[in-house]
Amino acid sequence: MELNNASHNSVLGDTAGSVPNDGTGVCQLDPWLSPFKDALRHRFSLAQKWIKTIDETEGGLEKFSRGYEKFGFIVLPNNDVVYREWAPNALRAYLIGDFNGWNRNSHQMKKDNYGVFEITVPAVNGQCAIPHDSKIKISLVTPNSGHRQEKLPAWIKRVTQDLSVSPVYDARFWNPPQNERYVFKHTPPPKPASLRIYEAHVGISSPEGRVATYKEFTRNVLPRIQKLGYNAIQLMAIMEHAYYASFGYQVNNFFAASSRYGLPDDLKELIDTAHSLGLTVLLDVVHSHASKNVLDGLNEFDGSDHQYFHEGVKGRHELWDSRLFNYGNHEVLRFLLSNLRFWMEEYQFDGFRFDGVTSMMYTHHGIGTGFSGGYHEYFGPNVDEEGVVYLMIANQLLHNLYPRVITVAEDVSGMPALCVALSLGGVGFDYRLAMAIPDLYIKWLKEKQDIDWDMGQLCFTLENRRDGEKTIAYAESHDQALVGDKTLMMWLCDAELYTHMSVLSEMTPVINRGLSLHKMIRLITHGLGGEGYLNFEGNEFGHPEWLDFPREGNGNSFHYARRQFNLVDDELLRYKFLANFDGSMQAKEAKYGWLHSPKAYVSLKHEGDKVIVFERAGLLWIFNFHPSQSYTDYRVGVEDAGTYRIVLSTDNKNFGGHGDIDESTRFFTTAFGWNGRKNFLQVYIPTRTAIVLALEHTL
């Protein structure tokens, strides 16, 4: 497989033909990387070396990433079942299950020179000898005194859990009759130019205190997402995880879609239906670590400490209490790359949000480490080159096979070239998450009075992203909602959410402030913060409570593990106003496309007035964050002359505003320079409001 992905070459302009092929092409994007050319060459050469090795030994990445067609359970056309498992440290292995009465000796497997065990279970009278959805395990004899242990097959595609019997999962032989298998009916939508992501968790997607299902999500939540105007869904906690309260971050079965929410075909129906609604579907993929479970996970699978993971301290994440993959191992690469391929092929996902990328790229895993932005932090002994190279190869594989694929990196460090193609020496992601933005909002709401909000710092944080590398901005995600923190709406309004959100009650100063700032925070994040936007489900309407899953510490309560869509559906509650605004904001982006437009030009950051003005995608954005001052005939600069009209106002009564701004007003520019722009116009901008203006001819 060649190292060429042209998606980023365009940013190099006419120099694209002279890009060096040694991994230092990114230095033409960012000359500050030049002192680190040796490090860039080295990691690029490591990626090339791996790809060359895989080409020579496996016939290329394309074949290599089809591991799920070789390992695990493969049903042949004649209904024989071939089962293969890599377990190099094990002495002997046996296949056991319902099909053979759990006889621990009748079906011994053969081991080859590479540590792969294999067995064929012949068909009986032309029928599969292992019944569909029956329980199955591998029984391994390991060197430590001939100790024998039953495990769930590593490549198993379905596992179930009966909590009334045991917290440990059961592996299932998933082989439904051909006429009962889900057949995808809809073509996935084109890759969005502007990515507007609705981050969702199937299990919490009901107002009721229970685990919701794939089918309920398909029926009840997908239409909401489409109506709001999002064009992508990011599904969390799909890969089967041992502990519901981990939010999907303790994965024990990497090829199994969580059975908590229903059958595998129910997830396929969800994705297919989303595609029919024009929605791109991303999977939150957890390759940064794995559950330490021994009985139903990968940990100590073949009796060793170091099969899939690094051994000893290096293979353990001290904060997450989980195991860390050895990305320098040939078979681990096969497992993880095939895992990505499997979710794309079997379930028709459109891409991935890679969780915990910071942990993968650094030997310190980001623990107790602050990143100053100094380039020396991104190179040298603290960088886990094997982790970085794995991400390079994974992105290369995905982008070469799937031109529509979208990959998003969750990285807090700011690693340069994370979203630049491998051909230029980058890691190859399409987007990175702007993790500093929500941190700023939470910090200010906790620690500052509104009058002390720093307009310059707000703009800097929103604009502080690398040229040529796309960023997804968000005001809050699931991270901010998880217990231990509060949603923005809870920080803004706290107890009054329970007493004064009815339209029949008075609009108190606290609720007025909460509604106003909730809209303004989202709008400025959407307009100024990135090339993509993300919202966590429920936050678009100001979901009043945090997220806390049933666990011992809360009496196994589902009270906070649900999304109260009933609140936004209630015409007598003010939550509907925030949802109305969010939907209008997404619709305006769909029309004007500011997310895929060049970065904004900020013409005003006035600390005294608390006013921010910027232009992007031909729109003029004006924010007044002052807690008490309104401004009449406020002069703002604008580059393009003409007649402007308001296309979005946070003060609209339909959005819970006061209706003080006359949205029918026509604004005429004056050809006189102002704030570095060629023209100016004058607006009425009340306290805690924002307006977006467009040239009249674009309406």
- The partner residues of 620 in beta bridges, in order of sequence, read 615, 693
Q: Which of 216, 296, 355, 548 is catalytic?
A: 355
Which of 52-66, 250-264, 358-372 shows the lowest mean pLDDT across its residues? 358-372
157 φ/ψ sector (left φ>0, alpha ψ -120 to 50, else beta): alpha
Q: What is the pLDDT of residue 220?
A: 98
Q: What is the pLDDT of residue 48?
A: 97
Compute the distance between CA of residue 576 and CA of residue 568 in angstroms, rounded to an integer: 5
Confidence of residue 145 (pLDDT cuts 50, 70, 90): low
Q: Between 162 and 266, where is the model more confident?
A: 266
C-alpha distances (whole Å) from 577 to each of 4, 291, 574 are 48, 42, 6
Q: What is the pLDDT of residue 144?
A: 77
Q: What is the pLDDT of residue 486?
A: 85
Q: Which of 284, 410, 531, 651 is catalytic?
A: 410
Domain with CATH 2.60.40.10 in the chain: 72-153
Compute the distance between CA of residue 316 and CA of residue 321 in angstroms, rounded to an integer: 7
Pairing state of beta strands 470-473 and 431-433? parallel
DSSP 340-361: HHHHHHHS---EEEETTHHHHH
Compute the residue count for the chain.
699
Q: What is the pLDDT of residue 19?
A: 86
Summarised one tens digit per residue, pLDDT across range 492-503 is: 999 999 999 999
Q: What is the mean pLDDT of residues 267-290?
A: 98
How far from chain centre, in Å, is Cα 425? 24
Compute the distance between CA of residue 483 and CA of residue 546 in angstroms, rounded to an integer: 6
Q: What is the pLDDT of residue 1?
A: 42
In 3D space, the residue among 346, 309, 352 whose CA is nearest the CA of residue 154 turns out to be 309
Angle between helices 37-58 and 330-346 (to 10 degrees): 80
- Has residue 14 got a pLDDT over 50? no
Cβ-contact 388, 399 below 8 angstroms: no
* Architecture of domain 600-698 in this structure: Sandwich (2.60)
Q: What is the pLDDT of residue 629?
A: 98
Q: What is the mean pLDDT of residues 678-696?
A: 98
- Has residue 13 got a pLDDT over 90? no
Summarised one tens digit per residue, pLDDT across range 577-625 is: 999 999 999 999 999 999 999 999 999 999 999 999 999 999 999 999 9
Compute the distance between CA of residue 100 and CA of residue 204 in angstroms, rounded to an integer: 39
* 195 membership: H or E segment, kind and range: strand 195-201
Compute the distance between CA of residue 418 and CA of residue 465 in angstroms, rounded to an integer: 12
DSSP 197-219: EEEEEGGG-SSSSS---HHHIII
Compute the distance between CA of residue 209 and CA of residue 204 in angstroms, rounded to an integer: 8
Compute the distance between CA of residue 497 and CA of residue 486 in angstroms, rounded to an integer: 13
Q: What is the pLDDT of residue 17?
A: 58
C-alpha distances (whole Å) from 372 to each of 74, 87, 147, 479, 656 are 50, 43, 50, 22, 40
How far from chain centre, in Å, is Cα 156? 24
- Residue 410 among the catalytic residues: yes
Which of 128-142, 274-288, 546-560, 616-630 shows the lowest mean pLDDT across its residues? 546-560
Task: Give me 73's structure tokens.
Answer: 């359970």
- Has residue 152 got a pLDDT over 70? yes
Domain with CATH 2.60.40.1180 in the chain: 600-698
**φ, ψ (nearest 5 deg) of residue 644:** -110, 150
Summarised one tens digit per residue, pLDDT across range 383-436 is: 999 999 999 999 999 999 999 999 999 999 999 999 999 999 999 999 999 999
Considering the four listed CATH numbers 1.10.260.40, 3.40.50.300, 2.60.40.10, 3.30.300.130, the one that applies to the domain covering 72-153 is 2.60.40.10
Summarised one tens digit per residue, pLDDT across range 485-530 is: 789 999 999 999 999 999 999 999 999 999 999 999 999 999 999 9
Q: What is the pLDDT of residue 3?
A: 41
Confidence of residue 483 (pLDDT cuts 50, 70, 90): low
Pairing state of beta strands 532-536 and 470-473? parallel
Q: What is the pLDDT of residue 546?
A: 83
The contacts of residue 163 (CB under 8 Å, 6+ apart) are: none
Neighbours of 28 (CB within 10 A): 20
pTM recorded for the entire structure = 0.96
What DSSP state is assigned to residue 217? I
Label each residue of 512-560 as H, E or C. HHHHHHHHHHHHHHHHHCCCEEEEECCHHHCCCCCECCCCHHHCCCCCC
Task: Give me 292's structure tokens.
Answer: 């330490």
Average pLDDT, the chain: 94
Q: What is the pLDDT of residue 485?
A: 76
Compute the distance between CA of residue 262 and CA of residue 212 in angstroms, rounded to an integer: 9
- Residue 476 among the catalytic residues: no
Whole-number percent of the chain with pLDDT over 70: 97
